[in-house]
Structure formats: structure tokens, C-alpha cells
Structure 1
Amino acid sequence: MTRIRSVEARTVAIPLAKATAMARRSVDVRYYALVRVTDDDGRTGIGFCYAGNFGGSVVSHAVRELIAPLVVGQRADRHRALWNEIYAETLLHGRAGSVSRALSAVDIALWDLAARTADKPLWQYLGATTIEDSVPAYASGGYYLEGKTPDDLAAEMRGYVDAGFGAVKLKVGRVGVTPQHDAERLAAVRDAVGPDVRVMLDANNAWSDVPTALEALRLLEPYNPFWIEEPFGPDDIRSHAMLAQRTPITVATGEIEYGRWRHLELLERGGAAILQTDAAVCGGITEFQRIADSAASFGVTMCPHWFHDLHIHVVASIANGQYVEYFPDDQVLNFRRLVSRQLTVLPGGRLALPTEPGLGFDFLPEVVEDVATDQWS
């Protein structure tokens, strides 16, 4: 069995063409940490994570200084055992945040390496649960932009429906935007897409208390939203549970939640009927699978957060995977510019499962070189 010869990281910063806003922040650049793991036969697996809109090099430093020394020289097939060892050794540096994202990126790279070595697409290597050659997806967008009107938003969402998607998502809860205006935005969208399209709402931690959230949601309820996402900050599990008891709108959250234990608390308190766990945040594919199994025992489905190139594989390999979040363009998920292959959208808003080994794509060296803030090391 081959052993890991090297673990390298690199930081990239990709500006957005136009500053884009959600509830409590505006983003004009995105940092990503890229990882590559090479075995002593020269085979390489890749991983990655979102590293925020500033300070992105912190994640890469965590890969190099905390995790790489624990992985180099280890057997390449020990990815689950390595997860446990890395987690235990890095406890004092952080069980969440940048350290967990660094662990996630390395774990993804190890799984990618294993699938490439086996010459199988990652979703097959993980154990396919689907009998289809595709998985369902929803089109994600609906961000706040300067000068963007409700009619502009409705046209955007209608465009996704015309492209074949039966579910779409938009932002709500922007600071300085009244609940009444958000209701007007959603009303325009519902009128444009019709009654049968699922419309999801993403609040991005907009509200600080349950009464304020309920005030906003009651204005949105007449337009039949499918879920309300991240109504509160991720640590406020109690408010998520209280809101879930008081609104008919399904509560979804978990995209910046870390580890199976925090997810278990969220499930036990009834704080989410849908989990949006991100494998590039929670601890990687290894931890995502554990979380998905826990969620299944609560009857909760998984609709993972962005990175559709990654999450198409995990949704196809878990029994309770419901949707992949798909970004039709690279304005917001500009990670798309770094990769060599884009997913294929099929009729009905489904995504074709990749057939290439591993993740099914590589980083584009010339693009990485153009936006990198450091070197591979």
C-alpha cells in the first residue's frame, strides 16, 4: 500500500465582478484554500474549502503547520483513521473555524486520491445510493445587488425555471431592507415562477431573536416558501428550535456547523428539519457521512451548502440526500473559474453524475497562478 509523500496547500483570492450582498455582509472577494495530496507512486488527490472574504491564508497555514506533519508518511488508505488522529491532535487549535476547514480540505483530498487510485468516480467509490445517472438540484441566487428591483429578481428566478429547475433560492433579511419589501420581492418571484416551483429563502443569520424572525416570516408565509435557511447565528440552536415550533415554514440550517456532535444537538433539539451541512466545512467527507447517518435516524434530509462539484458526490452516496445547491454562474460561487470541468444540467433541473475518476476535475494551473496569494507548499 502506498504512503502519502506530500501534503501541500495554496491560497487563492478571486474578486467578484460586482459586490454582492446578503443579510449582514457584502462580499467583493472570495478566498479559497486549495490542497493537493500526493502518494509515493505520484498519484494526486485534491481538496479545497472556502476560506472567507479576508484572512484566507489562515486555513492554508493550518494545513501546512498542523495537519501535513500528521499525514505525510501515513498509508494512503487510512483516511478514516487519519481523520480521528488529526482531530485529536488539533483540539487545542480549534474544533471549528479555520482548523476544521483545513481538516475538511485534506480529508476531501484523501478521498479523491483513493477514488482516483481505484479508477472510480468519487460517488461510486463512496457507495452509490442512487440508481439514476443524475441527482436533483435547485438553482441558487437571488442576492441583493445595488439597484436590483423585485422585478429583476423575479426575472432571474424565472430564468432558472426556464432552464429546467423546479426549485430556486433567494436571499431575505438584508439589514436596512424592511420585511414588507422582502415580501414584495417574494411576491414578485412567486408570480413569475408559478405555484408549483419550490422557492427557498436564505436569511444568512439575519435575525437576533424569535419575535423578529416571526414578524418577517408571517409576511412571507402567503407565498408558500419551502424553507427558511439560517434564520439565526449558528450557535443559537435554541432559537432555531423555538422558531421551528412556531412557523409553518420548514427551518433549514447547518452550512457553517462543525462536527457530528454539534449537528446532533441541533437534531435533538428539533432545530432543523433539513440539514445543509457542508463537507468542506464540517470536517470533510468522513464527517459528513457520519452526520448524514445521524440525520437519517431523525428523518432529516441533507441538502448540502454550495460547492456543487463536491456535493454532487456526497448526495449520490447517502440515502437521505435530497438536493444539490447549484449555482448557474460564477458571479458568486467563483470557485467555478478554478476547475477544469463544469457539471452538466439535465432536463428537470438534475445534474449529471461525473464519470471521471475521483472528483472528476482538476484545478486549472494557469488560473490558480493568476489568483494565488502564495505558492504550493
Structure 2
Amino acid sequence: MKVTKISATTAVIPLRNVTSFSTRTVSERHYTIVKILTDEGIEGIGFCYCGNAAGSIVTSAVRNLLAKHVIGQDPHNTEFIWDAMYKDALLMGRRGAVVRAISAIDNALWDINAKHAKLPLYQYLGGFYQDVVPAYASGGYYLDGKTPEHLAEECLSYVDMGFKAVKIKVGRVSAIEDAARIEAVRNAIGDEVELFTDANNAWNDATSAIRAIRLWEDYDLGWVEEPTMPDEMEASAAIAARVDVPIATGEIHQTRWDFMDMIDRQAAAIIQPDAGVCGGITEFRRIAAYAAAHSITIAPHWLADLHVHLVAATPNATYVEYFTDTEVLNIMEIFNNRLEVKGHGLALPQTPGIGVEIDEKALSKFSIDSWE
């Protein structure tokens, strides 16, 4: 089997409501979608989030820098292709947009390989979970006029769906105001439901983060996510050492080397690699293995349609992050299918590959550069 064609497009999808978290306000999201076709007629789909502007940079990297390393190759040679792409990116950026492009391509290759084997991706990778994987409901964003009571109602609705873990945003308002939001949620969902918080790089220094997190320690938080900027691993390690709440981070980090540094510094108790960001499934598996060797658990960031398979095939993975609607993670607006909530988690897809089908009609409304 050989790759005969690779194409990519940029989708810019507006949010129905302008949404805020600690340091940013978002009105649209940019995605790169990749298709890879083989001489046996098998098509692989890959995708990644590019940010809220200039997503075409990632698409350009697929087309103009990386595609030549894929055409003519056997898609099973994921290690060889990954190595060739990464080495060619030496002068263009071994992090950032180019690694996101590598991720989308790599994921499409794994989609092909699992389809060729006629297996859902999690079984092709070597399944650990069966039938259902644990998931948490992610939300709790800041909206104009949204009170702690509204936030509590939102989180309770997730529990009513069956989820035993929920996540909310923190860091945009004062630590005392966030304490009121956290308290309202905890009172609504009870003590048996895990409550995670996400600061999205809210604090500029370790001391500020420590003071804020200590205000929240009585609410039995499962983790505080991304307290500082991703390059501030020394600060993250200092925070982790001085608060009782576990620290989680990693959604913006890329490649095994970022995560090795994070783990070696003891900067997080839970790591959150995103296979649409970190270098794809190939690199995600390396990261997971290093984490497992250090007794670190994994709770991947975003893209549940992809990570449902990776959590199911990774013994030290704990949760899939799941959004119950398309208000924030709106890439699902160009997917034909949705994951099924089952029990306290997500039902494992049984179709070969990743299981994502692109709605070409919906994509045509959001694509800014067509397939090329």
C-alpha cells in the first residue's frame, strides 16, 4: 500500500457566542483538516486545532513543507515518515504550527492503517479499556451575565447526563470571586463528583498561583490545569510542590522532549498531551510510555473523537475531555457523527479507523482555501 495523494484545507468556524477564559476571548476557531489517499482506495482523515487566527499557516506547512515526505510511502511506516517530517522542520520550527501540521498528517496515517486492518483505532493500538472509557464534561466558561448559580446549573446538567467528573474555567476574575464560583459548583454536584479547574495560563508567577490555589483547597479539586505559561516549567514545579491540589498541564506542549522536561522537573502530577498538537499519535505514544515509567497519569486535552481511542489504548490514561455541545469545541460542526455518552463515559466507536466522517457540505461553508 502506498500514499498517492495528500490534501489539506483550513476551516474557520465562528462561535455562536463570544466566549472567554482567563487570558483570552474567542469568537472563532481555526482548524486544519487533512486527507490522505492510498492506492488501495483507503482514505485517512486527520485534523488539528490551529488557534483563533492564521490557521492557514498550519495548512501551508502540510502542503508546502511536509507532503513530499508522505507521497509514495507505505502509510504503515509511521516512524520513518514522522522522522523525515520532523527533521525537515528543523529550520521552520520544531514546535508551534509545523508540529501541529505533523500531528494532523500522522493522525491521518494511523486512521488509514486501522482502516486497512478493519479495526477501530483503539483496538489497532492495543485496547486496554473495553466498551466504555471514562470521560469528564468540559465547560464552565465565562460569559457575560453568567453567575455562579448559572455555572452550578450548567455543571449539574452534566452530572444529570451521567458524568462523574466536570471541569470549569478559573483565573479570569479574582481568586475570591472564583472561590464563589467553585463553591457554587461543589454544592450543586456534591462530594462524589470530581471537579477539575482550568486556569489557561492565568498567572504570571508562582506566588500568585499558589495564593489563589490555596484559597480553593477546601473544595477537593481534582486538579488545577495550566496555572502558568507553558514555558514556565520552573514555576509550575514550584506551584506543584507547595499546594495540595494536583497540577495538570501539557495541552500546548509538543514532542516527547517537552514532556520529559516537565516530568523530570516534577512540574505536573497529570499530563495532558493533545495528539492534534504534540506530534500526533506516534509522539503521543512515546509521551505516554515515558509518563507511565514515572507513574504519571494522562488526561488528554480536547478532540474527544481522537482521544477516545488513545485513552482506551493507554493504561495510564484516566479521562477523555468531552464537550456536550459545539458551543466551544466547534470542529464537530463539520463531522457527520458524534460520540455516544454511555454510563459515566463514552462508548468506544466500533467503525474501522478513528471513525470520523467529514460533512463536506458543512465544511464548504467554513473552508477558506478549499482542498489542495
TM-score, normalization: structure 1? 0.98
1:194 maps onto 2:193 in alignment: no
1:237-288 superposed Cα distances (whole Å, 9 cap, x missing partner): 0011010000000000000101001100100010011011000000000000
- Report 1:247-266 matches (<5 A): 247-266=243-262
- Report 1:213-228 matches (<5 A): 213-228=209-224
Count of residue pairs the alignment pairs up: 372
Partner of 1:301: 297
Q: 1:41: Cα distance to partner?
A: 2.0
Q: Give, in whole Å, the separation in 1 of the partners of 2:66 and 2:166.
A: 38
Describe the SS at the equivalent of 2:31.
strand
Q: Give, in whole Å, the separation in 2 of the partners of 1:375 and 1:350.
A: 35
Q: Residue type matched to 2:133 in 1?
A: V
Describe the SS at the equivalent of 1:245.
helix
Q: Residue type matched to 2:235 in 1?
A: S
1:60 maps onto 2:55 in alignment: no
Partner of 2:158: 160
1:154-187 superposed Cα distances (whole Å, 9 cap, x missing partner): 000011011111100000001xx11110000001
Partner of 1:146: 144
Describe the SS at the equivalent of 1:138.
strand
Q: Give, in whole Å, the separation in 2 of the partners of 1:305 and 1:124.
A: 21
Moved over 2 A (4+): none
1:72 maps onto 2:75 in alignment: no
Q: Give, in whole Å, the separation in 1 of the partners of 2:217 and 2:316.
A: 26
Partner of 1:358: 353
Describe the SS at the equivalent of 2:5.
strand
Q: 1:355: Cα distance to partner?
A: 0.3
Describe the SS at the equivalent of 1:27.
strand
Q: What percentage of aligned pairs have identical amino acids?
A: 48
Q: Give, in whole Å, the separation in 2 of the partners of 1:182 and 1:160.
A: 20
Describe the SS at the equivalent of 2:30.
strand
Q: 1:76: Cα distance to partner?
A: 2.1
Partner of 1:122: 121
Q: Give, in whole Å, the separation in 2 of the partners of 1:346 and 1:39.
A: 34
Q: Give, in whole Å, the separation in 1 of the partners of 2:87 and 2:128.
A: 31
1:267 maps onto 2:263 in alignment: yes
Partner of 2:22: 23
Q: Give, in whole Å, the separation in 1 of the partners of 2:90 and 2:316.
A: 30
1:231 maps onto 2:227 in alignment: yes
Q: Residue type matched to 2:356 in 1?
A: F
Residues 189-198 or 285-294, more deviating = 189-198
Q: Give, in whole Å, the separation in 1 of the partners of 2:145 and 2:75.
A: 51
Is the contact made by 2:45 and 2:356 (CA closer than 8 Å) also made in structure 1? Answer: no
Q: Give, in whole Å, the separation in 1 of the partners of 2:310 and 2:232.
A: 27
Q: Give, in whole Å, the separation in 1 of the partners of 2:78 and 2:285.
A: 13
Residues 87-96 or 197-206, more deviating = 87-96
1:40 maps onto 2:39 in alignment: yes
Is the contact made by 2:335 and 2:357 (CA closer than 8 Å) also made in structure 1? Answer: yes
Q: 1:341: Cα distance to partner?
A: 1.1
Q: Give, in whole Å, the separation in 2 of the partners of 1:301 and 1:82.
A: 28
Which ranges in structure 2 are unaligned for 5 or more consecutive residues? none
- Report 1:329-344 matches (<5 A): 329-344=325-340
Q: Give, in whole Å, the separation in 2 of the partners of 1:330 and 1:79.
A: 32
Describe the SS at the equivalent of 1:310.
helix
Q: Residue type matched to 2:54 in 1?
A: G
1:207 maps onto 2:203 in alignment: yes
